[in-house]
Structure 1
Amino acid sequence: MLQITPTVKNLLILNVLFFIVDAYILPLSARFALMPVLSPSFMPYQFVSYMFLHGGFGHLFSNMFGLFMFGPLLERMWGPKRFLIFYFVTGIGAGVLFSAIGYYENAQLLKAVEVYVQYPTPDGLVDFMSHHAKGFYQANLDFFNAFEENPTNPSYIQNSIGAVKSVYQASINTPMVGASGAIFGILMAFGLLFPNTELFMLFIPFPIKAKYFVSFYGLYELYSGIQNSQSDNVAHFAHVGGMLFAYILLRYWGTQKQNFY
């Protein structure tokens, strides 16, 4: 039977307590979720605090299940101190990579907004929304058609400028929460240290070695992050960041791979 280790147990308790407080007692996300760097609500301490907040019970459960399944083995190997360092380095690193990419994307978005404000046209609005807010475009076809028929109407012009600015404001005020970065770091470490351990996953009808599972999962997260579907609210680059910082930290520690069959 899998025996839980002290640090993993404490992390589980803390995450559950923060979830209960945030959901039922005192909202914490507005202040402690990781906000984009260009947001006026961004604070450096959010690189740590965001790891203890979750978007719902399913989000919490999936992360804590990963911690429970893979964390104890790593803690027994490294000891509580090194495991805790690893957990926070990968979690913070995930937030840093996600924020860096978000900063670049929002800076490009701001430039697009400034260009449109200077030259507000129906074609420009369609081009902007098709690149940055397809959902808004599809939900407001009547407005787009009316603007196209009356491109010099001052009311339509101002409404279009307001819509474009709202897309930017929504982007820089969308927070990230969850321990997923640290959990993906733990998963990466497990795959590197125990590459030939066979895993039995509910959604895969056959056993798969850890090294293949981690590789496929990492590539999927990278692809999903680059694809950047606007209907996808998963922070894929945070997952990639957790795996990347796990790899870097393990190499820095000079940990030797051990093959377990």
Structure 2
Amino acid sequence: MDKNLVIDVGVHTGEDTEFYLKKGFRVIGIEANPNIYHDTKQRLNSYIETGQLLLLNIAVSPQNQPITLYVNLDRSFWSTTSPDFVQRNEFFGTRSTPITVEGRRFEDILQEFGTPYYLKVDIEGADILCLQGLQKVESKPQFLSIESTKVSWNDLLKEFTLLKELGYKKFKAIRQPDVPQQICPFPAKEGQYINHKFEYGASGLFGEEAPGAWLSETEVLKVYKRVFLEYRLLGTNGILKFPLGKILLESLQLKEPWYDTHASL
């Protein structure tokens, strides 16, 4: 494991990547959308020139072969390789167009670039591929985060079974709409201290800086039982399935919640 390396799977416009870079980490960034990749590469070019950042225009895939990426035309961060997520996105009134991009297995990426200290994954329906890739390499990241499933309790249990098999024993469930309220601790617990304001949609603090106490699997699943009740009330299978549901949520300025699972060895 390279203690100075972060791998950011799902770079998008680079808000998370830039945070890790400013904290002094070396970053391998993965972004499948070619247009966003080129824009982000240009914006963060100074880090690329110094060798602190390497951006890859690829999609994590089950096979090393071209794969279809459904580029969301209304919410670019909802672009996905998952047909199920395309249906979800259409439910919310967004449009997608398919393009073909290079696909690579995550275990091959790790074998080429090494195991990071922290692995951040947010690739809309394909996060599990990264966990499966970790099964095929010996060394594991000290910390990782994935966007937890919000559709199936059984799928959530499968995620935690896989995390346990990988050696992860401590967990946090981080409510992502609250990330803009996070404050970087001083002195820093991860990398260098920076005074940083997180944007809505950012992954936020990680490792020992992530808010809240580390929980056992039993404890964090109790948290997720409450989270799934929140999903049922405010999610696509709750109030949103009714015609006036979206209007009501917008009038109350409520957003469908989502959570990231953070794990530590």
Q: TM-score range by the shorter chain?
A: under 0.3
Q: Which has the higher strand share?
A: 2
Q: Which has the larger radius of gyration?
A: 1
TM-score normalised by structure 1 residue count: 0.27
TM-score normalised by structure 2 residue count: 0.27
Highest relative contact order (Cα 8 Å, sep 6+), 1 or 2? 1
